Structure 1
Amino acid sequence: MTQQQSPAAEQPPVRRGPGRPRHADTEARAYRAVLELFGQKGWSGLSLDGVATHAGIGKSSIYLRWKDKRDLLMDALHDLEEHLVVPEETENLKIRDYLVAHATARAELYLGEHGSALSHLYSAAHANPSEFAEIRQQNISRGILSLHGRIEKAVADGELPKDTSVFHLLDAIEGAVLVHVLFSSPKNNDDLSTGIGEYVRKLVDIQLRGIGATV
């Protein structure tokens, strides 16, 4: 006679410990945190542990994705670049309007949410050349060098004098924009943002007149 098997007793549901829950937006939160901390504390004050705490995510999530703070910062800068609003259809503008459009966009970036991180980027790259070599090439130099071709074309087309120095012209405009933002009080950011377009237009006109271009 076949013996009837008694049904196995139901197992109670497994209760998970109170560990930190996973977040679908871990990368976005880490990018925001690393840019905020870098802007506040600079390179020497930045750490993966600090980013995890600031972002409110587990340290293991950070260490599984990035081997060091440089890699995380580089990824955050790449992500920032992808979400930037850049001037559209500027290649066909006259050189004066082209320079104004790009310099204004750069100024608005410095005045934006992560402006302090970008200003720290320049000083950190200067103080830590080996650690920032790749960041310098991909995130600092590329933004400036991308304008060279258009200025060289303006020289070739006669919009600018033949003896125009591309480097000197860009240094004068880009450097002035950065200094203008850095040396202004954060309390005046709203006023600065309101007047930045007029400031840039006057700046570009002064530089173009200085090299003998028609404005």
Structure 2
Amino acid sequence: MGLKIQQREANTERGTSKNGGKLGRRRSAKAERAIVDATLELLAEGSVSELTVEGVAARAGVGKTTIYRRWASKLPLVVEAIRALPELKVPNTGTLRGDLRQILAALVKILRTSPLGPVLLHVAAESRSDPELREAVSEHLALRRAPLLEVMRRALERGELPAGTDPDTLTELVAGPIVNRMLFATGPIDGRFIDVVIGTVLEGTAGMAGTSRRRRAS
């Protein structure tokens, strides 16, 4: 009996008891979540170049070996952290204005409740001078814009935007004021502000298209 008890205790310590596998996986998942969260926090506070595995380990409360068992270097850890950021969903209200109201309200919520804004700002800025970083994160940065681009493309197909409108430019014009106001705290971000942004961009786009048509006709 004593030997069996000792064996169970030894197995538990090694994580090989009957439930040891599940316990080990839960601990592993918890550690990975802590590491990714710590990476996001540090990226929000500073640049990628300032990020260190030692700093992440200290913030996450794990050893460096725990990080290196999962990620070979800092770069794949940064990519993993970006992938963990919340994503926008593509709305389907049936109108461009309705879709934009929903998706911009969702963007505001994400910016308020996650480190998305400062993380992407720091990573995008540094990737301009770091080819390796740019190659690693470019696809994931592009995915962040994909839902807004889809909204613009569908509006073009429905005829809600003038033919020839550039969805990429329109996406930047719509999202830019929201991100700018959030990062630099230049004023409140509420439904009224979102409507002003949408109205200004869409009316400006329609006005430019009308001017172009008149010039071609004259």
TM-score (norm 2): 0.73
2:85 counterpart of 1:80:
yes
Larger C-alpha radius of gyration, 1 or 2?
A: 1
Per the TM alignment, residue 133 of structure 1 is displaced from its structure 2 partner at its CA by 1.7
The aligned residue for residue 6 of structure 1 is: none
Segment of structure 1 superposing worse, 121-130 or 71-80: 121-130
The aligned residue for residue 43 of structure 2 is: 38
Per the TM alignment, residue 87 of structure 1 is displaced from its structure 2 partner at its CA by 4.3
Give the distance between the partners of 2:139 and 2:56, measured in 1 at CA.
Answer: 24
Distance of aligned partners of 1:196 and 1:118 in 2 relative to their CA distance in 1, 3 Å threshold: farther
Segment of structure 1 superposing worse, 57-66 or 106-115: 106-115
Q: Pairwise mapping of residues 102-141 of structure 1 onto structure 2 (< 5 A)? A: 102-114=103-115, 115-138=117-140, 140-141=141-142
Give the distance between the partners of 1:41 and 1:152, measured in 2 at CA.
Answer: 35
Distance of aligned partners of 1:125 and 1:109 in 2 relative to their CA distance in 1, 3 Å threshold: farther
Give the distance between the partners of 1:147 and 1:113, measured in 2 at CA.
Answer: 19
Q: Pairwise mapping of residues 62-81 of structure 1 onto structure 2 (< 5 A)? A: 62-81=67-86
Match of 2:191 among 177, 190, 197: 197
Per the TM alignment, residue 107 of structure 1 is displaced from its structure 2 partner at its CA by 2.8
Summarize deviations over 1:101-128 as a string: whole Å, max 9, x none: 2222223322323132232222122232
Contact residue 74 and residue 135 of structure 1 kept, 8 A: yes
By percentage of residues, which structure has more helix?
Answer: 2
Distance of aligned partners of 1:158 and 1:122 in 2 relative to their CA distance in 1, 3 Å threshold: same
Contact residue 152 and residue 171 of structure 2 kept, 8 A: no
* Local SS of the residue matching 1:111: helix
Which amino acid in structure 2 is aligned with residue 30 of structure 1? I
Contact residue 100 and residue 151 of structure 2 kept, 8 A: no
Per the TM alignment, residue 137 of structure 1 is displaced from its structure 2 partner at its CA by 1.2
* Local SS of the residue matching 2:128: helix
* Local SS of the residue matching 2:161: coil
The aligned residue for residue 162 of structure 2 is: 161
Per the TM alignment, residue 156 of structure 1 is displaced from its structure 2 partner at its CA by 2.8
Give the unaligned 5+ runs of structure 2. 1-5, 14-23, 208-218
Distance of aligned partners of 1:129 and 1:104 in 2 relative to their CA distance in 1, 3 Å threshold: farther
Give the distance between the partners of 2:169 and 2:119, measured in 1 at CA.
Answer: 25
Tell me the percent identity.
Answer: 24
The aligned residue for residue 3 of structure 1 is: none
* Local SS of the residue matching 2:113: coil
Which amino acid in structure 1 is aligned with residue 39 of structure 2? V
Contact residue 155 and residue 161 of structure 1 kept, 8 A: yes
Give the distance between the partners of 2:127 and 2:179, measured in 1 at CA.
Answer: 16
TM-score (norm 1): 0.74
Summarize deviations over 1:129-167 as a string: whole Å, max 9, x none: 3323231212x1122234334322322322112232222
* Local SS of the residue matching 2:121: helix
Size of the aligned set, in residue pairs, is: 184
Give the distance between the partners of 1:36 and 1:53, measured in 2 at CA.
Answer: 12
Summarize deviations over 1:19-57 as a string: whole Å, max 9, x none: xxx844110100110011111121111011110011111
Distance of aligned partners of 1:156 and 1:170 in 2 relative to their CA distance in 1, 3 Å threshold: same
The aligned residue for residue 210 of structure 1 is: 204
Give the distance between the partners of 2:175 and 2:131, measured in 1 at CA.
Answer: 21
Measured on the aligned residues, the alpha-carbon RMSD in Å equals 2.6
The aligned residue for residue 146 of structure 2 is: 145
